[in-house]
Amino acid sequence: MEKELYEIKDNAMKLIEESENKEALEQIRVEFLGKKGHLTSVLRGMGSLSAEERPVVGKVANEVRGVLEEAIRKAFDELNEVEKQENLKNETLDVTISGTKMPLGSKHPLTVTLDEISKIFISMGFQVTEGPEVETVYNNFDALNAPKNHPSRDMTDTFYISENILLRTQTSPVQVRTLKSQAPPIKVIAPGRCFRCDSPDATHSPMFHQVEGLLVDKGITMADLKGTLDIFAKQLFGSQVKTKFRPHYFPFTEPSAEVDVTCFKCGGSGCRVCKGSGWIEILGAGMVHPNVLKEGGIDTEVYSGFAFGMGVERIAMLKYEVDDIRLFYENDMRFIEQFR
């Protein structure tokens, strides 16, 4: 029996030495030391031994078990160490390797332009407000003093949703909303989308953006309007530009004007950008019509105000010399990337 035990030991030791992975090692452990293993079954047979033999064989058996357990433990440790080294090797990181660049997005040119316009007015103390794109006919036309037969009310110019609801054709209805919801002093700009039934071409789009401005306080005059817009034009196009107010008509302002700047490209001598005239129209403006103030609940004996409205696309096209408005909506990366 002793001999058998030593044979088992030698066999096991050989297998342990040869084992190359933890699974094989575990299998050896079960095969020799497990409940149904070789060593265990030998020990089970000890019952048939004599009283003198038993302690001797028992000692050898324990010794063999001890040796095998220790050998297996060691082999496991070695395999674990090898595994660890391998993992470390696989996880090494070459921090000197150059990375893969992710493509970087850029702001849309209309956003860039709108941000620039907003920044100038915010620096003059204007607050930014907004109104809905789906508006009432009342806010878009009636409360803005538009005559019942005004051509812009026509179905061919305006997207009607129902008899009383439309897609706003201008940001001016935000004037009405602001007058009704705020008490003077009022000093706001309102950027947003507008819609008109236009067939798309190089200068027309059924959807476009405007920035509205409204200021109402005591003692506001045309001089305040001129000063504000002159500063705005100089900040946007450069301190060398001059502004010119040309008489115009809007139902909601009186007097009304269109504002031109001297061409920032040629300085006024005439070029492609200003179509030879030396001047570029940039916005519409005027003193808020008393009817509009009254409709907004403002006491016209105490307060007066001015308003202006400009097309964001138009200003972006002028500033960046874009010759087709449709480029803004196609989202061709080759176009958009140029405004980083």
Q: x/- string (CB under 6 A) for ligand PHE, residues 193-212?
A: -------------------x
Q: Which stretch binds ligand PHE (CB under 6 A): 15-23, 132-140, 235-243, 302-310?
A: 302-310
Q: How far is the CB of 283 from ligand PHE (least distance, A)?
A: 7
Residues 117 and 211: beta-carbon distance below 8 Å: yes
Work out whether 250 is an interface residue with ligand PHE (CB under 6 A): yes
Work out whether 307 is an interface residue with ligand PHE (CB under 6 A): yes
DSSP H helical ranges for 92-190: 109-123, 137-140, 173-181
Q: How far is the CB of 102 from ligand PHE (least distance, A)?
A: 41
Q: How far is the CB of 307 from ligand PHE (least distance, A)?
A: 4
Work out whether 308 is an interface residue with ligand PHE (CB under 6 A): yes
- The whole-angstrom separation of Cα 173 and Cα 154 is 17
Work out whether 172 is an interface residue with ligand PHE (CB under 6 A): yes
Measured CA distances, 193 to 138, 167, 246 (Å): 18, 9, 26
Q: Choose between 61 and 310: whose C-beta lies nearer to ligand PHE.
A: 310
Q: How far is the CB of 234 from ligand PHE (least distance, A)?
A: 20
Q: How far is the CB of 246 from ligand PHE (least distance, A)?
A: 13
Strand, helix or coil at 241? Answer: coil
- The whole-angstrom separation of Cα 26 and Cα 296 is 88
Q: In what order do the strands lie in the sheet with 253-262?
A: 127-128, 186-195, 207-218, 303-311, 279-288, 253-262, 243-250
Kindly state the number of chain residues that form the binding site for ligand PHE, as judged by CB under 6 A.
11
Q: Which stretch binds ligand PHE (CB under 6 A): 45-53, 197-205, 301-309, 320-328?
A: 301-309
Own/partner contacts of 78-86, CB < 8 Å, gap of 24 or more, are 79/21, 79/22, 79/25, 80/22
The owner of tokens 């100089």 is 234
Q: How far is the CB of 248 from ligand PHE (least distance, A)?
A: 8
The residue from 286, 304, 314, 327 that contacts ligand PHE (CB under 6 A) is: 286
Work out whether 305 is an interface residue with ligand PHE (CB under 6 A): no
What b/e readout covers 278-295, taking b as 16+ CB neighbours within 10 angstroms? Answer: ebbbbbbbbbbbeebbeb
Work out whether 174 is an interface residue with ligand PHE (CB under 6 A): no
Strand, helix or coil at 105? Answer: coil
- The whole-angstrom separation of Cα 282 and Cα 315 is 7
Q: How far is the CB of 170 from ligand PHE (least distance, A)?
A: 4
Footprint of ligand PHE (CB under 6 A)? 170, 172, 212, 250, 253, 284-286, 307-309
